[in-house]
Amino acid sequence: MKFVDEFREPEVITKTSAEIRRLADPNRHYRIMEVCGGHTHAIYRFGLKDLLPSNIELIHGPGCPVCVLPMGRIDDGLAIAQNPDVIFTAFGDMMRVPGTLGSPLEHKARGMDVRIVYSPADALKLAEKNPDKHVMFFAIGFETTAPSTALTLMRAKAQGVHNFSVFCNHVTIIPAIRAILDSPDMRIDAFIGPGHVSTVIGCRPYEWIAKSENKPVAVSGFEPLDILQSIVMVLRQLKADKATIENQYKRVVPWEGNRAALRAMAEVFELRPYFEWRGLGFISQSALRLREGYGEWDAERRFDIPGVRVTDPKAAQCGEVLKGVLKPHQCKLFGNECTPEHPIGALMVSSEGSCAAYFNYEHRKTAMVTSIASAA
Amino acid sequence: MCLAIPGQVVELFPDQPHTAVIDVVGVRRKVDLGLLADNLPLKGEWVLIHVGFAMSKISEEDALDQMRTLRALGEAEAAMQEVQGYGLEESEIPEHSEFPKFPEAS
Amino acid sequence: MAHGAGGKASRRLVEGLFAPLLFASSAEPLGDAAHLDFGGTKIAITTDSFVVKPLTFPGGSIGELAVNGTVNDLAVSGAKAEAMVVTYVLEAGLPTPVLEAEVRAMGNAVRKAGVKIAGGDTKVVEHGKADSMYISTTGIGRPIRGLKIDARSVRAGDKILLSGPIGDHGITILLARGDLDLEADLQSDTRSVLPLVEALAHEAGPGVRWMRDPTRGGVATSLNELARDCGLGIVLIEEMIPVRDAVRGACELLGLDPLHIANEGQFLAVVAPEYADAALNALSLAPGGQDAQMIGEVRNEPSGAVLVTTRYGGSRIVDMLVGDPLPRIC
């Protein structure tokens, strides 16, 4: 696969890992946060932690749009779809996330019309094909995905498709990063920036992290060499006591972002005054909703939703894991009450949630290493 | 939010300028080019696909540049060791670093 | 119930509910077929049900899946299928041409596989109750001389062989459903693996410890079951696992792992190291076995789990699926 395989070349990966080892100061413990859930997933999938020296700690940030969605919002979306004329559509990522009365897939098993779509455009097409039904699209995602929802809504309006609405849960990344840095119990040395969000917002929005917080940022791609090169970049900056924004993912990320995408978002969305983030609490100006002009396609305006706040069980420590304060296995429920088969929180359900990633990929590796060590 | 894959534009539609068919090693799908309206891709160009929309064009030049830089890692180190072996001053091998690049005026 | 996808939930259902109530107490791990001895006459028997949507897809249809699936379950248990009985559960209103096409497909598949259909049954259920058609089969066969399949005989150092590329069937079905709007030049790999198993038995019989056909839940599920049954660890080398480009492309686009995708014409074999080369050779020379690969080996650690390693030194644990593989965008 072009533009994929090159960045997985074993010899170059070995070279880059060697460079990381060369740069890492053995007397220093580095805490590097990768913000985006896609990076969390890639790190586990490619086993990149195996290639790093033990004094480099990768911390998983809150960039997982499924993980930060409060349960109440899932309940709201499903409440809308209780109406037999409504078809509930969402990305596959949402399908097993537990609401109070079960996940979308569980609702499907009980007779609700629930369908997986790969694209919001497919949800709109479904509405066109089923004029006697109403198609509701449960929209999630950061700025990577929001422009596609926006464009879909613009097309719905232009084409006069009225049996279509969006339940909007798009959130923005910068407030989440701010919340992390404002957290008293956080110590982060550098950031691996979300490469795909940056194809939309560009690199400028991170400048305050370097200027005011004095932390290096490398806006990173998602292949092994991208992530490893980003680590090289921030290590070099830390070594030289520098803090700037670097665009590691040059081949795809334009420094100024994607103007057409930003225009589409501005046309369709506005910022909510505040929005609740699971584990991080209420954050102002951190989420999107449809503008007045698109009110007709806003599921929240068209339907009555319960709007009930559902708090996580006291024992669940999703918030601390989301912020990187705790490692997944340090949460009391991890591996016992909370597993991928019966998840309590979204971090265990989402394929890029740190708990699911840790449970699926890492958990038994640690046990293996421990048992080999103790047998030695 | 982050699963986006490189695909090649293999078909365009003169009557639908914001639609294309992309190919990912033999898998094909129609994608929406609306987000690249300011700089529509041509047939044969590579784009990054996310949820059925093209997000960005992929620069082959930047990709090659990245691979060149990475392949050269360790060579600077080897060169440095050679220089040290001669007992000369440790030469300052320039660090590779990305400084902010501003896009060309459109 | 998420129990149909063949992963953790299925296993729990079988082991937790069915086994204790229905099966005679036995220390033997559950296999693809049962080998019974009636006072000296040895018979292998298996049963399976087939549910697929759409009924026909590139490379085959439910009728062929039913025949090949049954033959394969017997083959990987170390037996040659001789005869089958078939039950059709039909949804009222199913168009006759559709039924006829399936019956024809089944007829062709049994002739190709060299199996007899000895009888069958049909039931018609209410409209909306059978997804058009369900097929259930029971197959019997004779044990293949020289093969003794038992997970408990697997040892550290044994090699793992795979008969060919993975993911073709599952991805073909996913694409055929049409919801994802993807097109690819792919077809189901449904076929009888008996000729390959017989070739393996002929050249390396004494060294074959265990076999399985990785259907629902994919290679990851089958190997996790083995790891649990034998208490050892399985280590695979990512680069050795054969995957067609189009399957790879679809998996990358949808965020799926080929190791979790269903196959209908492949099998895994664990072979003692001294027989491994002969085994791989036998497979690759047999018709349809040209893509066979040695994909890994059995080790003491990680006990009960499957680890996939890469050439650059990274590794990850691959677990059984929980439910169906779902496309993702994150």
Q: d(Cα C289, Cα C282) in Å, to the nearest integer?
A: 8
What is the secondary structure of C101-150 as a DSSP string? Answer: HHHHHHHHHHHHHT-EEEEEEEEEE-TTSSSSEEEEEEEEEEEPTT----
Residues 169-208 of C with CB under 8 A from B: 180-186
| ipTM summary value | 0.93
- Quick check: C328 contacting A, CB < 8 Å? yes
Within C191-254, strands assigned E span: 208-212, 233-237
Nearest to B24 among C252, C255, C330 (CB): C252
Neighbours of chain C (3+ CB pairs under 8 A): A, B
Longest CA–CA span in chain A (Å) reads 70
- Chain C partners of A51 at a C-beta cutoff of 8 Å? 312-314
Tell the residue number behind the tokens 């665009």, with chain if given.
Answer: A247
- Chain B partners of C186 at a C-beta cutoff of 8 Å? 26
CB contact under 8 A, B1 and A244: no
Side-chain-side CA neighbours of residue C215 (13 Å)? 24
Tell the residue number behind the tokens 């059925």, with chain if given.
Answer: B52
3-class secondary-structure state, position C138: strand
Q: What is the pLDDT of residues A92-138, one digit of tens each?
A: 999 988 888 999 999 999 999 999 999 999 999 999 999 999 999 99
Q: List CB contacts of A205: < 8 A, sequence separation 6 or more.
A: A174
3-class secondary-structure state, position C121: strand
Q: Of the ranges A101-105, C208-212, C321-325, which is most confident?
A: C208-212
Q: What is the pLDDT of residue A372?
A: 41
Q: What is the mean pLDDT of chain C?
A: 92
Q: What is the pLDDT of residues C69-86, one digit of tens each?
A: 999 999 999 999 999 999
Let me know if C299 is exposed, middle or buried by CB neighbors in 10 A (0-12, 13-18, 19+).
Answer: middle
CB contact under 8 A, B77 and A22: yes
Neighbours of chain A (3+ CB pairs under 8 A): B, C
Q: d(Cα A1, Cα A357) in Å, to the nearest integer?
A: 25
Q: What is the pLDDT of residue C7?
A: 66
Query: Given a cut of 60, is residue A376 above it in pLDDT?
Result: no
Per-residue b or e along A204-217, where b marks 16 or more CB atoms closer than 10 Å to that residue's CB: ebbeebbeeeebbb
- Chain C partners of A358 at a C-beta cutoff of 8 Å? none
Higher pLDDT, A261 or C27: A261
CB contact under 8 A, B58 and A3: yes
Residue of A nearest to C249 (CA): A1
Structure tokens at C227: 């790891």
Q: d(Cα C260, Cα C241) in Å, to the nearest integer?
A: 13
CB contact under 8 A, A116 and C327: yes
pTM attached to this predicted model: 0.91
Query: Given a cut of 60, is residue C107 above it in pLDDT?
Result: yes
Q: Residues of chain A with pLDDT > 70: what percent?
A: 96
Query: Given a cut of 50, is residue B90 above it in pLDDT?
Result: no
Higher pLDDT, C82 or A335: C82
How many residues are listed for chain A in this entry? 376
Q: d(Cα C125, Cα C93) in Å, to the nearest integer?
A: 10
Structure tokens at C137: 């089969």
Q: d(Cα A232, Cα A227) in Å, to the nearest integer?
A: 9
CA angle at residue A47 from C329 to B69, to 5 degrees?
Answer: 90
